[in-house]
């Protein structure tokens, strides 16, 4: 049986475009006829909101599944359609919860206590996320996972169970160690828990038409083999779309600003 390809969007740096990338990649894959599940693993719930999931429509969240409170985990999935833009197309969202961070912290504490021979059996983040993805993987072509900016147990668990790591990166932020850290995390996960994980690529987000200094260009040299040949431009369209609960690529599929996400989706489909 075919199983979904699991794409984990991750980088520790806040505001680099993880959520926007996860939401628009999921939307672009939907437009291309694929069965898609977006999993929101960030307690901020930004992906859940950006998909326009109505709070009222949320009965269960990923947190309930991890805490063993969902009897039928598939009940937690919310189907989203944007019929004014994409008729007869939809994708599924597994929403987040603001207290997911507590669950994550609780998992870390329980694991530490269990290692000291204290406390109950720990809820293992690795096993919980792997188990969750196993349940869903036969129902979709792609599972796109949005992660939190802190590289906590849930992000590591998603990478441990994933196929591809996708790194959104805001060009011009060269002086931070976001990419260094992302590659370090990748190598650790690959070595310790998931030899099959690959870095699918680095996506430059929120780009302007500015020229970069020689130092900036040189500092990217070591990553050049991983950088996609397309970049996402900085456009207010993305803020508008995120605030209006529709992926920009679904609302404006022919706009030049959203083409990079269509190309990204095609890259996944073709290779």
Ligand X SMILES: Nc1ncnc2c1ncn2[C@@H]1O[C@H](COP(=O)(O)OP(=O)(O)OP(=O)(O)O)[C@@H](O)[C@H]1O
Site residues, ligand X (CB under 6 A)? 14-20, 42, 44, 46, 149, 205-206, 232, 234-235, 238-239, 242
Interface contacts to Mg ion, rule CB under 5 A:
18-19, 46
Minimum gap (Å) between residue 6 Cβ and Mg ion: 18
Q: Which CB, 73 or 145, lies closer to ligand X?
A: 145
SS (H, E, C) 34-59: CCEEEEECCCCCHHHHHCCCCHHHCC
Of 137 and 201, the one with the shorter C-beta distance to ligand X is 201
Among ligand X, Mg ion, none, what does residue 20 contact (CB within 5–8 Å per kind)? ligand X
**Residue 235 interacts with which of Mg ion, ligand X, none, CB < 5 to 8 Å by class:** ligand X
**Taking the complex as a whole, how short is the minimal distance between the CB of residue 165 and Mg ion, in angstroms?**
15
Q: Do the strands 164-170 and 198-205 form a parallel or antiparallel pair, or are they unpaired?
A: parallel
Question: By C-alpha distance, which of 223, 230, 228, 217 is closest to 180?
Answer: 223
Rg (CA), the chain: 18
Q: Least Å distance between CB 22 and ligand X?
A: 8
242 touches, from Mg ion, ligand X, none (C-beta below 5 to 8 Å by class): ligand X
Query: Which partner, Mg ion, ligand X, none, binds residue 5 by CB below 5 to 8 Å per kind?
Result: none
- Measured CA to CA in angstroms, residue 261 lies from 164, 176, 199, 234 at distances of 16, 25, 17, 13
Cross-strand partners of 9 = 146, 166
State the Cα–Cα distance between residues 154 and 101, nearest whole angstrom: 9
Q: How far apart are CA 212 and CA 68, in angstroms?
A: 49
Cα–Cα distance, 13 to 50 (Å, whole number) = 19
* Nearer to ligand X among residue 42 and residue 141 (C-beta): 42
Structural contact between residues 82 and 95, judged by C-beta atoms closer than 8 angstroms: no
* Nearest CB to Mg ion, comparing residues 70 and 94: 94
Residues 6+ apart with CB under 8 A from 248: 20, 24, 27, 235, 237, 238, 240, 241, 242, 255, 257, 258, 261
CB of 225 to Mg ion, least distance (A): 26
Q: Tell me the closest approach of the beta carbon of residue 41 to Mg ion, in angstroms.
A: 10
User: Judged by CB, which is closer to Mg ion: 18, or 206?
Assistant: 18
Which entry of ligand X, Mg ion, none binds 49, CB below 5 to 8 A by partner kind?
none
Name the residue nearer to ligand X (CB basis): 56 or 208: 208
- Least distance to ligand X from the beta carbon of 12, Å? 8
């Amino acid at each position: 049986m075919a199983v979904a390809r699991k794409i984990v969007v991750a980088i520790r740096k806040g505001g680099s475009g993880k959520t926007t990338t996860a939401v628009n990649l999921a939307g672009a894959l939907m437009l291309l006829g694929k069965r898609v599940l977006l999993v929101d693993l960030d307690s901020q719930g930004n992906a859940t909101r950006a998909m326009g999931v109505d709070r009222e429509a949320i009965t269960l969240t990923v947190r309930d599944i991890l805490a063993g409170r969902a009897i039928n985990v598939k009940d937690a999935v919310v189907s989203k359609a944007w019929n004014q833009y994409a008729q007869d197309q939809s994708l599924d969202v597994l929403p987040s919860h603001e207290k997911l961070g507590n669950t994550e912290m609780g998992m870390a504490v329980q694991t530490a206590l269990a290692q000291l021979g204290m406390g109950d059996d720990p809820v293992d983040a690795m096993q919980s996320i792997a188990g969750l993805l196993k349940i869903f993987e036969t129902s979709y072509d792609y599972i796109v996972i949005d992660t939190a900016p802190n590289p906590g147990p849930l992000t590591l668990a998603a990478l441990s169970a994933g196929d591809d790591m996708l790194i959104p990166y805001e060009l011009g932020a060269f002086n931070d160690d976001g990419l260094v850290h992302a590659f370090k995390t990748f190598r650790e996960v690959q070595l310790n828990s998931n030899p099959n994980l690959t870095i699918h690529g680095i996506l430059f987000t929120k780009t302007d038409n500015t020229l970069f200094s020689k130092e900036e260009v040189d500092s990217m040299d070591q990553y050049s083999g991983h950088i996609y040949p397309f970049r996402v431009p900085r456009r207010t369209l993305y803020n508008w779309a995120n605030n209006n609960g529709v992926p920009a690529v679904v609302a404006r599929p022919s706009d030049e600003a959203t083409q990079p996400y269509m190309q990204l989706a095609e890259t996944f489909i073709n290779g």
